[in-house]
Amino acid sequence: MSSHREAPEISKDPVADNTDTYAFVSPDRPDTVTIISNYIPLEDPAGGPNFFEFGDDVLYRINIDNTGDGRADIAYEFNFSTKVRNPDTFLYNTGPIDSLASPNFNRPQTYTLTEVRGTKQRTLGRGLPTPPCNIGPRSTPNYPALASAAISDVGDGIKVFAGQRLDGFYVDLGAVFDLAVLRPFQSLHLIPTPATDGVNALRSFNVHTIAIQVPISQLTRNGKKPTDVMDGKSVIGVYAAAYRQKGRYQDEDRNNWSGPYTQVSRLANPLFNEVIVPMSKKDRWNRVEPRRDADFAKYVAQPELARLLPVLYPGVFPNLAALKKDRADLLAILLTGIPGGLIPGFQNYTGPNQADLLRLNVAIPPATSPRINGLIDGDLAGFPNGRRVSDNVVAIELRAIAGALFPLVDPSFTPDAASGLLYDLVKGGKDANTPPPSVSYLTEFPYLDHPVSGYQVVPLSASA
């Protein structure tokens, strides 16, 4: 998955586990950038009575690097606080929740939002509300209204939201982790059964989302909204992270934390730690800042999955099997951004410093007809130019690892024909415009759809 349970230690700490990070020019407010960071993987909608929530003891941070050094120049910090209204009931809600202030909402959570620019901090909001989890039609009878009420305008054109959402990431986990037996192409895997559509394993899981929408001029290094795509100042780098205090002790009442904060999880490009970084290095990767990612560049230059595909699919990837050069294409896509001159009218290069960042060229407007396979399908506003919520990132990255983009840096290389098949791993068949029917999105902030309730969870037989 993008980063759901991607490292041994963070898989034991779900409230601090980044699952996905998104960054894109807002389609309905193109003078702003929307950044989304999700936490708490694989939320079962029926998982009560202790339903999911952010950690009061976790510092959540959205980081923006606009100078290309792998360090945060701007950050937005979210600190949460939870209270119990009625300590004498086991219930999450004691009746229908018809507003965020409802006394029936027994465990409301609020947060403080702080903007950090260098050594300067300013509080943008205190006591900002989060909606409850979507329990069901009796407990949360008008969930969209509750979610809408939790969107806060904190001034300077900035909007924020924190709360439960439907997981917008889609992937056939059952196939991917079964030695990449991708169902639409399983005949290439020498499995003598008919090809079938993939199954979106996340079709009925929720996540907890932190989303912020900020005017572009507040994120660029010169404080302006750029118009020249080829200008280096038009590119920002984004990553999200979670931090815990270093000291922890327990008494009979609670866990206690003390000391400075240290990073325990981070995420920019999807699947980086999941698929690129080896098991023994995953926990360290989560602890270091992106400026240290040159330490992991060798795993990008010679990715394990590129060696495994010819083994898992015998005879299907002969050109990939013969490719022994370092993968300059992947080093650019994931660690420096794509320089100008490789793709006409495009660049998201941040300089030679190697860092895993979602690099977004904010001078590129939202696509009028988005294509979920993004840049690889000619849509310059799509992944890996930032990442939109519906981008088909698993297929895009599989195609890239299989060599589909290597001719950009080495025209002598011919991608294997099979690399062109890796485009629609959930539905089967080519459809470059729409995500699978098992996911849906909103057309406005925060873009990820309302969470599914435990009462209404979609059964496997009814989903794609």
Q: Is residue 414 part of a domain?
A: yes
Does the pLDDT at position 181 exceed 60?
A: yes
Structure confidence by residue, pLDDT tens digits, 319-365: 999 999 999 999 999 999 999 999 999 999 999 999 999 999 999 99
Q: Match 């995500």 to its residue by tokens.
A: 435
Burial class (CB in 10 A: 0-12, 13-18, 19+), 422: buried
Mean pLDDT over 11-37 rounds to 96
For residues 178 and 457, the model is more confident at 178
Mean pLDDT over 367-396 rounds to 95
Other Cβ atoms closer than 10 A to 283: 16
Q: Give the span between the Cα atoms of 385 and 239, in whole angstroms.
A: 14
Lowest pLDDT segment from 3-7, 105-109, 441-445: 3-7
Does the pLDDT at position 295 exceed 50?
A: yes
Burial class (CB in 10 A: 0-12, 13-18, 19+), 401: buried
Question: Which residues lie closer than 8 Å to 339 by C-beta, 6 or more apart?
Answer: 332, 347, 349
Does the pLDDT at position 256 exceed 80?
A: no
Q: Is residue 93 part of a domain?
A: yes
Q: Give the span between the Cα atoms of 385 and 346, in whole angstroms.
A: 9
Residue closest to 233 by CA, chosen among 351, 404, 335: 351
The pLDDT value recorded for residue 243 is 97
In sequence order, the β-bridge partners of residue 160 are: 152, 212
Q: How far does the chain reach from its first CA to its final CA, in angstroms?
A: 17
pTM: 0.95
Question: Which residues lie closer than 8 Å to 27 by C-beta, 6 or more apart?
Answer: 366, 443
In sequence order, the β-bridge partners of residue 212 are: 35, 160
Q: Is residue 451 part of a domain?
A: no
In the chain, how many domains are there?
A: 1
Q: Is residue 146 part of a domain?
A: yes
Structure confidence by residue, pLDDT tens digits, 406-458: 999 999 999 999 888 787 788 765 666 788 888 899 999 999 999 999 898 76
pLDDT averaged over the chain?
92
- Return the DSSP state at 272: I
> What is the sign of the dihedral through the CA atoms of 282, 288, 294 and 295?
negative
The pLDDT value recorded for residue 462 is 46
Does the pLDDT at position 236 exceed 90?
A: yes
The pLDDT value recorded for residue 463 is 46
- Tokens matching residue 412: 């002598």
Q: Give the span between the Cα atoms of 147 and 168, in whole angstroms.
A: 16
Q: What is the dihedral of CA 28, 33, 34, 35, to 10 degrees?
A: 170
Report the chain's C-alpha Rg in angstroms: 22
Other Cβ atoms closer than 10 A to 87: 7
Q: Match 């904010």 to its residue by tokens.
A: 362
For residues 421 and 118, the model is more confident at 118
pLDDT band at 192 (very low <50, low <70, confident <90, very high): confident
Q: Is residue 3 part of a domain?
A: no
Q: Give the span between the Cα atoms of 68 and 339, in whole angstroms.
A: 13
Q: Is residue 198 part of a domain?
A: yes
Question: Which residues lie closer than 8 Å to 431 by C-beta, 6 or more apart?
Answer: 424
In sequence order, the β-bridge partners of residue 346 are: 343
Mean pLDDT over 221-231 rounds to 96
Q: Is residue 456 part of a domain?
A: no
Q: Is residue 154 part of a domain?
A: yes
Q: Give the span between the Cα atoms of 234 and 220, in whole angstroms.
A: 7
In sequence order, the β-bridge partners of residue 63 are: 75, 239
The parent domain of residue 168 ranges over 10-441
